[in-house]
């Protein structure tokens, strides 16, 4: 269901869209004012729960539910931490918010702090995003000058401060506990859970970690009302509400970020918003939401007989399934960050897999043996396959290594690295075997369209 | 020679410290501040300085420095160029962009031009997939690259004295 919206992207085409003046002209900061002047902390959490915002960073956890895990009474300070370490290959949506609508994130932080009982929010921005950091700092200064941040935001005796913190180039810091270690000035190695951040997070205190887009959409919930906001989505009944930013990159004519109601299909994303495939070539495959999600082929058919909710979609192409956290999970996929990577038949899937596994080998933090050794091992097998020295046995071995990473590491990076390996080997087995049988020769041997 | 910050940078250091409940949390931002003030690299002297100012062991600071890719343990060129080569960029021609940069600069990936002006690097995903191919030059993104655009950017860097 293609329904374009502009809750977050209304400012994207305006040259001054990132300024306070433009944001307020579009109704900005009314939600934070309303929340702080009229609602209790519990009412805020309830309203966010009603909106059914599934975490936009990839895991898809319900935002209101996460906020409700924060202790009601606590002697320790609470923190809100915003994960702006955007670096999942294929994902480039949070950057558009920080660069072109930073005040939505600051307003979301004010409401979020109030909702989780925090007085300080840290926005953890990867260091490379220099424009994002500058825009956020400028927005913070503007908001502070107006009295929206500080000791008495909107006249309420509830201090809120927002800070930008920088990383230094490590994909793993997008993992929430690695991010907390990095925020504390340590190496960005993930922590064992439990304890979860809501009990022991930043600086040993109760902490909520949310994605940029999750927090930035919060003011819109209070503009529209939680229930109404959820119902904008075609998957409201699946508790997957609201609107979100859809990205599309790779072999499409119009790559970019498009804001739509939740429930868009992959076909609409690729062919309507993305303008179709370059040179109108056939689709080879699509990774729906960042490289850690399994790849889908165009001829994959939805077949989930045990779940009545899938009845309207069974027998249809997976490209016609509304993109939601639970819909894609039901077909063995993952929605992730909702930013799709599209490959036409000009792309060689073996080289694509090699590219991704190089990424995971490079970014593994090295803490857990299965991930540290496994990612490198998989890359070396693919090196051999591409050079014509691979064997069918090693292809099976690759599958086994990836299976053995899954579930055997402290954090989800291991699973994220194994997913592309497993899904590519299952779905492009023939192309991989062709490489081996032809001694490294393939018909395409390129990634570019 | 011991490392020290200018008075202006010292003020910035104090501002950074004021944002956190303890000094350790300032480690990464302060390392950035020092690296920028030390020709883009973190020497042993910088590590000793940061450790002393933040009340940390040098082992802790060295551990942090070696964990993160963006801290240089050797002095790079005056300008640093990162060409993103992860999947979305690779699908749109980043390999050709990278080969062209190598040819134009006369260095391999990881190398610095003999005049010390430009260090060429690759990078993993820089969150610019919708405007691929792209490269980062110092603190600026150059997106939707063509070979002509790359030439223009590199020429400017090489001319800069």
The pTM (predicted TM-score) of the whole model is 0.97
Q: For residue B3, what pLDDT band results from cuts at 50, 70 and 90? A: very high
Task: For chain B, give the longest Cα–Cα distance.
Answer: 50
Query: Which segments of A94-198 does DSSP mark as H helices, in order?
Result: 94-100, 102-116, 130-145, 176-183
Distance CA B9, CA B118 (A): 25
Task: Check: CB of residue A76 under 8 Å from CB of residue A188.
Answer: no
Question: Is the minimum CB–CB distance between B88 and chain A shorter than 8 Å?
Answer: yes
Burial of B72 (0-12, 13-18, 19+ CB in 10 A): middle
Query: Mean pLDDT, chain B, as a whole number?
Result: 97
Q: Please name which of A88, A167, A163 lies closest in space to residue A127, comparing C-alpha atoms.
A: A167
What is the structure's pLDDT at B133?
98
CB–CB of A255 and B132 under 8 A?
yes
Test the A interface: residue of B17, B18, B35, B87 with most A CBs within 10 Å: B87
Q: Is the pLDDT of residue B161 over 70?
A: no
**Nearest CB partner across the interface for B22, out of A203, A341, A447:** A203
Segments of chain A with pLDDT less than 50: none
Residues of A in contact with B82 (CB under 8 A): 128
CA dist., res. A287 & res. A420, Å (int):
9
Give the tokens for residue A246.
């859809």
Helix boundaries (H) for A150-256: 176-183, 212-216, 218-224, 226-231
- Pairwise CB contact (< 8 Å): A184 & B130: no
Q: Which among B129, B136, B139 has CB closest to A91?
A: B129
The tens digit of pLDDT for each residue in A222-241 reads: 999 999 999 999 999 999 99
From A341, which residue of chain B is nearest by alpha-carbon distance?
Answer: B88
- Which ipTM value was assigned to this complex? 0.97
Note the pLDDT of residue A441: 75
Dump pLDDT digits (tens) for B119-130. 999 999 999 999
Under a CB-based contact definition with an 8 Å cutoff, are residues B160 and B78 in contact? yes
Determine contact: B83 vs chain A, CB below 8 A. no
Q: Which domains does chain A have, with CATH numbers?
A: 9-226 (3.40.50.11540), 236-344 (3.10.20.600), 349-438 (1.20.1440.230)
Q: Please report which confidence band the pLDDT of residue B150 belongs to, taking 50, 70 and 90 as the band edges.
A: very high
Predicted pLDDT of residue B160: 77
**A313 with A1: CB under 8 angstroms?**
no
Is residue B111 packed enough to be buried (19+ CB in 10 Å), middle (13-18) or exposed (0-12)? Answer: middle
Bridge partners, residue B142, by sequence: B135
| C-alpha gyration radius of chain A | 22
Task: Tell me the two tokens of residue A268.
Answer: 């609409």
Identify which of A87, A90, A167 has the shortest CB distance to residue B88.
A90
Question: By the 8 A CB rule, do A332 and A294 touch?
Answer: yes
Contact B127 A250 (CB under 8 A): no
Q: What is the pLDDT of residues B19-61, one digit of tens each?
A: 999 999 999 999 999 999 999 999 999 999 999 999 999 999 9
- The domains found in chain B, sorted by start residue, are 7-67 (1.10.10), 79-159 (3.40.30.10)
Nearest CA of chain B to the CA of A94: how many Å? 9
> Which B-chain residues 4-23 have CB contacts (< 8 A) with chain A?
19, 21-22
Q: What is the pLDDT of residue A443?
A: 66
- Please check whether residue B69 touches A, CB under 8 A: yes
Instruction: State whether A163 and B19 contact (CB < 8 Å).
Output: yes
């Amino acid at each position: 269901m293609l329904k374009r919206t502009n809750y977050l992207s209304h400012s994207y085409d305006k040259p001054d869209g990132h300024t306070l003046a433009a944001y307020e002209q579009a109704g900005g900061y009314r939600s934070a004012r309303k929340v702080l002047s009229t609602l209790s902390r519990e009412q805020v959490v309830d309203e966010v729960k009603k909106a059914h915002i599934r975490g936009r960073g990839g895991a898809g956890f319900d935002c209101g539910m996460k906020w409700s895990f924060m202790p009601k009474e606590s002697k320790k300070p609470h923190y809100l931490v915003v994960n702006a370490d955007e670096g999942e290959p294929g994902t480039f949506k949070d950057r558009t918010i920080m660069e072109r609508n930073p005040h939505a994130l600051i307003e979301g932080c004010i409401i979020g702090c109030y909702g989780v009982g925090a007085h300080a929010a840290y926005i953890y921005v990867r260091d490379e995003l220099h424009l994002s950091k500058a825009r956020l700092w400028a927005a913070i200064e503007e908001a502070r000058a107006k009295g929206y941040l500080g000791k008495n935001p909107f006249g309420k005796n509830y201090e809120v401060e927002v800070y930008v913190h920088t990383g230094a180039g490590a994909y793993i810091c997008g993992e929430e506990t690695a991010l907390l270690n990095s925020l504390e000035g340590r190496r960005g190695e993930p922590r064992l859970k439990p304890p979860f951040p809501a009990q022991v997070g930043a600086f040993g205190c109760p902490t909520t970690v949310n994605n940029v887009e999750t927090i930035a959409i919060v003011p819109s919930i209070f503009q529209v009302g939680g229930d109404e906001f959820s119902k904008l989505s075609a998957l409201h009944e699946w508790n997957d509400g609201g609107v979100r930013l859809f990205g599309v990159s790779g072999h499409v004519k119009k790559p970019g970020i498009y804001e739509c109601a939740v429930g868009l299909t992959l076909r609409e994303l690729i062919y309507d918003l993305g303008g179709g495939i370059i040179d109108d070539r056939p689709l080879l495959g699509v990774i729906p939401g960042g490289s850690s999600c399994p790849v889908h082929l165009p001829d994959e058919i939805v077949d989930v007989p045990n779940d009545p909710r899938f009845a309207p979609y069974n027998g249809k192409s997976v490209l016609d399934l509304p993109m939601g956290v639970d819909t894609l999970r039901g077909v063995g996929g993952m929605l992730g960050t909702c930013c799709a990577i599209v490959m036409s038949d000009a792309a060689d899937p073996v080289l694509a897999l090699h590219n991704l596994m190089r990424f995971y080998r490079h970014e593994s933090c090295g803490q857990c043996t299965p991930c540290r050794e496994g990612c490198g091992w998989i890359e070396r097998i693919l090196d051999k396959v591409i050079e014509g020295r691979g064997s069918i046995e090693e292809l099976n071995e690759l599958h086994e290594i990836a299976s053995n990473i899954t579930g055997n590491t402290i954090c989800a990076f291991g699973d994220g690295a194994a997913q592309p390996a497993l899904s590519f080997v299952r779905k492009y087995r023939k192309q991989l075997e062709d490489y081996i049988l032809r001694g490294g020769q393939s018909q395409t041997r390129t990634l570019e369209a | 020679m011991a490392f020290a910050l200018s008075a202006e940078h010292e003020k910035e250091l104090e501002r950074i410290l004021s944002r956190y409940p303890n000094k350790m949390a300032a480690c990464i931002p302060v390392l950035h501040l020092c690296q920028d003030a030390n020709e883009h690299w973190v020497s042993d002297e910088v590590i000793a300085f940061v450790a002393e100012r933040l009340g940390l062991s040098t082992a802790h600071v060295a551990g942090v420095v070696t964990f993160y890719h963006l801290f240089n343990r050797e002095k790079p060129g005056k300008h640093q160029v990162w060409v993103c080569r992860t999947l979305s960029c690779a699908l749109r021609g980043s390999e050709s962009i990278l080969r062209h940069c190598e040819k134009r600069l006369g260095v391999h990936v990881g190398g610095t031009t003999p005049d010390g002006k430009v260090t060429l690097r690759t990078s993993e995903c820089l969150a610019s997939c919708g405007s691929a191919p792209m490269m980062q030059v110092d603190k600026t993104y150059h997106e939707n690259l063509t070979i002509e655009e790359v030439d223009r950017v590199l020429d400017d860097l090489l001319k800069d004295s």
